[in-house]
Structure formats: structure tokens, C-alpha cells
């Protein structure tokens, strides 16, 4: 409790020091809080000359790696943030001090249940790289392979848990202060962060992601994914092949290696669309630090991807939505874009399509004032999401990851080759994918997919056929019985209709006899009135005895 209190006080101090009070809607606060906060904020006057996005970035850096990671994830929510704030947060560098090598060794030995000397022929206690969640050491297996060992930071889960609790408290405070605070959806942002960072704490999950991505690109000329050594991997430790390549952001080194930059940029786009539309499983953290280039064949360079902690996936409905929206956008069919949003259920069914179409046109049409090669796919998605949010669209988490990845790929591609025309590369891919979804090839794929399930039912087919025939037989018997009952009822109704006048006359006779006769006298016929007695007999005959 004391630790949490000190942490909260430090956060408050940082907010005041960097003048983050500009994010606080003072107009809705009581007067005494306005004056108190204004006085305290005076300690941060020297930072006031910087723009608020830069101050926010510096504040997160001063609070440590967990908040740096939060800022990195927040920078991807351009559907919520102003562009200048998102741009500043994108500058956050996840470079933090390493923890001691002997601590890393103890974690490895605890999780893998063996001394480091038994596990590895060589192990470097000096980390190769260090980040907010884990750090990496180089090693060599006894079988001779060079590997890297990724180790989760000690006690990081407890630190993250405390910081997330504080972030939730701050998020609820911001959301409750004003409508602008609610518009930023701070609680939703913290929830996304919690989900993402907790995934990064489980290296067993990252190893599984790496293995699947590797299988998807087996023997591919586009992308290489390092091998995972499963016997040496655990929740807190992961061992994988050590790769060699040029960091993708090192443009000078790539140029010196005579890499075909146009081919490299276009291959990056092809990898992205292959992952999204062919595999439905894409690397969602493809910033430059996680991408290297194999330049052994500089005219056909190959990408190398590491760090598969954050992955995204799209179902068929998501892919269809995305492909059709992008194609409709570049055909300027804004009516189709609006209808697709309503059809998908991501905006309410009652949304006026005409108004929605007009709003989309006002956002997207100015983009076509630029050359097609300069139009940003990422900005297209951001514009669509921001517009749809005004019509109560709930942003889908998988699309947020997709948007972030697309922005990274697009920015990287144009850094490598400024004249990259993303649409030239993407349009044939999207059109081909749409054709495949509707053609005979897709039908055959569905048949092949269902074949094992059908094969499993083959031994049961005789019983199923016998059961079906038995049911048909019983159904015929029931149908015949029902038909006979209906015919009988029809005859009765027909008879009833035929005898209705007689029944009515009989009822009238009985009623008349009852009115004019003393019922007691009927026990003594000699005393009964003959007229009444005659009416009584006639009524009984007509009602009961006449067929």
C-alpha cells in the first residue's frame, strides 16, 4: 500500500512537472481544485514552452519502462488522438537499463531446471539488448548452434499490475471529468494496453506465435522467421536461432550492400497483405527494431522478422470488409463504403446511409487531390474509423492492430523507397483475393476443409440412413392417421352443417316446453299438459336421436 501511494505521488508530481494539466478540463473542477492545481503546476513552467505532445512523451519516459510501453501502444490509437500527440508518442524509444546477468541466469535455471553450463556450451552474461519487458543474451548450444536467450525481467508482473491499477484509476478520473475525456475512451485504451502487455509476459505464447509464422512462410523468398528451440523455452525464457542481417532502418548499410530498395519496399507490402488475407495471422509489432534484411541476394532481398509477442488475426468477415472497403474507396464509391459499415454491424442498423456517405466523402475526397502514390492506406483507415466513430461505431481491437501495422509497413516502405505506390502493389492482391472468395477454387477449398469431418461420419452413415428411413416410415403412419382424422372431422362438420336446422328446432321445442310446463308434473304424465309433453319429446328427438 505504501509503495502504491509513493508511486501515485510520483505520477502526480510528473503530471505537474511537465504541465500535463493542459489535458485536465479545469472548467468542470471546483474552484478550490482549480486554484490548488494551478499553484502546483507553476513548478513546471520551464517545460511550458514545449508542445503538449512532447511534454507527454517526456513525462512517460521519466515514469519508466511500463509507461513508455503504454505510450507506444497509445501512439497507435490515432483514431482517438490528435496527430501531433500521436507523432510525438511514436518517438518513444524502448531502451531501458539492463538487469544483472546473474539474475538472468537464475531465472533461466529456475525455469529450465538445469544449470546454465548444462544447458549451453557458451552463455554471455552481458545482455545483447534490453527492453521494458525482457532482455536478450547470446549463447551457443552444445550441438553447436548459435542462439539468443530471451528472459523476462524479474518481478515485472507485480510492477505491471500496480501500474495498470493506477492507470485504470487515472482513466476513470479522466472519463468522469468531461465529455472530451469520455471521447478519448481512456478506460478502453488501458484495457487494450493490459491485454497486450500481459501477452508479452508469456514467452511460451510468443514461441507458439513464432512457430506458426515460421510455418506460414516455410521456403518463402519473402520472409524468414528464426527457429524456436522448444526444449529450452518456457513462460519466462525463450531460446531461438540467432540471425544475422542488416537492421531495416539502416538505409546507409542497405545502400552500401546494393540492395534493390524498390524490390525491398514492395516485398514488405506483399508480406503484409499475404499475412492478412492469405494466412489471417499477421505480425502486429513490425517496427524497425523487429525487422532485419538478409542481403545475401541484394537484388531479391529477404526480410527477417523477430519478436512475435503481438500478433493479429482477422476472420473472413473482417477480411471481406477490409478488402471491399479499400477497393470501394479507391473507386470513390462512398455509398458502398457506408453500406459496408452498416452491413457489417459495426455501426447501428438504423444509421442514415446518406448522412454517413456524405461524412465519408468529406473526409476521403480531399485525399484524391494528391497523386495516387502519395495516398496513405493507414490514413484512409484512420479517416474511415474516425468518421464511423461519430456514427457510434465501436472500434474492433483486431482492426486497431491492423491499422498500427499498416502504418508501420507503409512508413517503412516509403522510407526505403519514397516513390513506393502502395496501391499498385495492393490492388491486384485485393482483387485476386476477392475473386478467390467467390470462385470454384474457394468451393473446393471448403470441400477439402470439411472432408475430414465428413470422413469421420462415414461409419455412422448406415445407422443414420436406417434411422432416417424409420423416421420416414413412422412419419407416413402419422401422416395417414392425421389424414383419416381430418377426413372424419370433415364428415362430422358436414353432417353438423346438414343437421343444424333440426338441432335449432329441437332446442326451441325444449325451451318452449320448459317455459310452459311445471317440471314436477312430468313425473305424473297423466297430469302433464299434452302440448308441453309433445314439445319435449320433439325436442329430444331432434337433438339426440336424429342421426
Catalytic residue set: 285
SS3 state of residue 475: helix
Q: How far apart are CA 31 and CA 19, in angstroms?
A: 19
Q: How far apart are CA 66 and CA 409, in angstroms?
A: 25
**C-beta neighbour count of 370 within 10 angstroms:** 10
328 is in an annotated binding site: no
Contact indicator for 293, 306 with CB cutoff of 8 Å: no
131 is in an annotated binding site: yes
Stretch (H or E) spanning 303: strand 302-305
Q: Give the start-end residues of each E strand in 211-281.
A: 223-224, 237-241, 246-247
132 is in an annotated binding site: yes
DSSP at 274: I
136 is in an annotated binding site: yes
Edge-to-edge strand order for the sheet containing 302-305? 223-224, 302-305, 291-294, 246-247
- In this structure, the strands spanning 146-152 and 129-130 are unpaired
Q: How far apart are CA 181 and CA 185, in angstroms?
A: 7
Residue 248 φ/ψ, nearest 5 degrees: -65, -20
134 is in an annotated binding site: yes
Query: How buried is 412 (Cβ within 10 angstroms: 0-12 exposed, 13-18 middle, 19+ buried)?
Result: buried
Torsion of CA 497, 499, 501, 506, to 10 degrees: -140
150 is in an annotated binding site: yes
Radius of gyration (Cα) for the chain, nearest Å?
38
Picking from 100, 91, 93, 98, the residue whose alpha carbon sits closest to that of residue 129 is 98
415 is in an annotated binding site: no
Q: How far apart are CA 406 and CA 345, in angstroms?
A: 23
Binding-site residue numbers are: 128-136, 150
Amino acid at each position: 500500500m505504501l509503495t502504491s501511494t509513493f508511486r501515485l505521488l510520483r505520477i502526480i508530481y510528473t503530471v505537474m512537472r511537465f504541465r500535463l494539466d493542459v489535458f485536465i478540463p479545469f472548467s468542470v473542477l471546483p474552484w478550490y481544485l482549480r486554484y490548488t492545481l494551478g499553484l502546483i503546476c507553476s513548478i513546471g513552467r520551464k517545460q511550458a514552452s514545449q508542445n503538449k505532445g512532447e511534454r507527454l512523451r517526456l513525462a512517460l519516459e521519466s515514469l519508466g519502462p511500463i509507461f513508455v510501453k503504454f505510450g507506444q501502444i497509445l501512439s497507435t490509437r490515432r483514431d482517438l488522438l490528435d496527430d501531433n500527440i500521436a507523432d510525438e508518442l511514436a518517438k518513444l524509444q524502448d531502451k531501458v537499463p539492463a538487469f544483472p546477468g546473474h539474475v538472468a541466469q537464475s531465472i533461466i535455471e529456475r525455469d529450465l531446471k538445469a544449470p546454465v553450463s548444462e544447458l549451453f556450451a557458451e552463455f554471455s552474461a552481458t545482455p545483447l539488448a534490453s527492453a521494458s519487458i525482457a532482455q536478450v543474451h547470446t549463447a551457443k548450444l552444445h550441438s553447436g548452434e548459435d542462439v539468443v536467450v530471451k528472459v523476462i525481467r524479474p518481478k515485472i508482473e507485480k510492477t505491471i499490475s500496480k501500474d495498470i491499477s493506477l492507470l485504470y484509476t487515472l482513466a476513470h478520473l479522466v472519463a468522469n471529468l468531461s465529455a472530451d475525456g469520455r471521447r478519448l475512451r481512456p478506460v478502453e485504451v488501458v484495457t487494450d494496453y493490459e491485454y497486450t502487455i500481459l501477452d508479452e509476459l508469456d514467452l511460451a505464447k510468443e514461441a507458439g506465435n513464432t512457430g506458426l509464422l515460421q510455418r506460414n512462410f516455410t521456403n518463402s523468398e519473402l520472409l524468414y522467421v528464426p527457429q524456436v528451440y522448444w526444449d529450452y523455452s518456457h513462460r519466462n525464457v525463450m531460446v531461438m536461432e540467432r540471425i544475422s542481417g542488416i537492421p531495416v532502418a539502416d538505409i546507409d548499410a542497405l545502400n552500401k550492400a546494393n540492395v534493390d530498395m524498390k524490390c525491398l519496399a514492395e516485398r514488405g507490402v506483399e508480406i503484409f497483405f499475404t499475412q492478412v488475407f492469405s494466412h489471417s495471422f499477421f505480425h502486429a509489432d513490425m517496427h524497425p527494431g523487429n525487422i532485419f534484411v538478409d542481403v545475401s541476394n541484394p537484388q531479391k532481398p529477404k526480410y527477417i522478422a523477430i519478436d512475435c509477442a503481438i500478433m493479429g488475426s482477422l476472420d473472413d468477415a473482417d477480411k471481406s470488409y477490409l478488402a471491399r472497403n479499400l477497393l470501394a474507396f479507391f473507386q470513390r464509391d462512398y455509398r458502398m463504403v457506408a453500406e459496408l459499415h452498416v452491413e457489417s454491424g459495426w455501426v447501428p442498423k438504423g444509421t442514415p446511409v446518406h448522412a454517413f456517405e456524405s461524412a465519408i466523402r468529406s473526409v476521403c475526397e480531399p485525399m484524391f487531390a494528391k497523386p495516387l502514390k502519395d495516398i496513405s492506406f493507414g490514413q484512409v483507415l484512420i479517416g474511415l474509423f474516425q468518421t464511423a466513430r461519430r456514427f457510434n461505431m465501436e472500434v474492433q481491437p483486431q482492426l486497431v492492430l491492423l491499422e498500427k501495422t499498416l502504418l508501420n509497413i507503409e512508413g517503412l516502405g516509403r522510407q526505403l523507397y519514397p516513390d513506393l505506390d502502395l496501391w499498385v502493389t495492393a490492388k491486384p492482391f485485393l482483387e485476386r483475393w476477392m475473386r478467390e472468395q467467390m470462385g470454384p477454387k474457394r468451393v473446393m477449398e471448403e470441400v477439402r476443409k470439411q472432408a475430414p469431418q465428413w470422413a469421420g461420419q462415414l461409419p455412422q452413415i448406415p445407422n443414420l440412413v436406417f434411422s432416417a428411413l424409420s423416421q420416414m416410415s413412422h412419419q407416413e403412419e402419422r401422416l395417414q392417421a392425421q389424414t383419416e382424422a381430418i377426413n372424419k372431422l370433415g364428415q362430422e362438420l358436414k353432417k353438423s352443417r346438414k343437421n343444424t336446422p333440426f338441432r335449432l328446432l329441437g332446442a326451441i321445442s325444449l325451451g318452449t316446453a320448459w317455459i310452459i310446463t311445471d317440471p314436477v308434473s312430468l313425473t305424473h304424465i297423466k297430469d302433464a299438459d299434452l302440448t308441453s309433453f309433445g314439445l319435449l319429446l320433439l325436442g329430444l328427438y331432434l337433438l339426440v336421436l336424429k342421426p
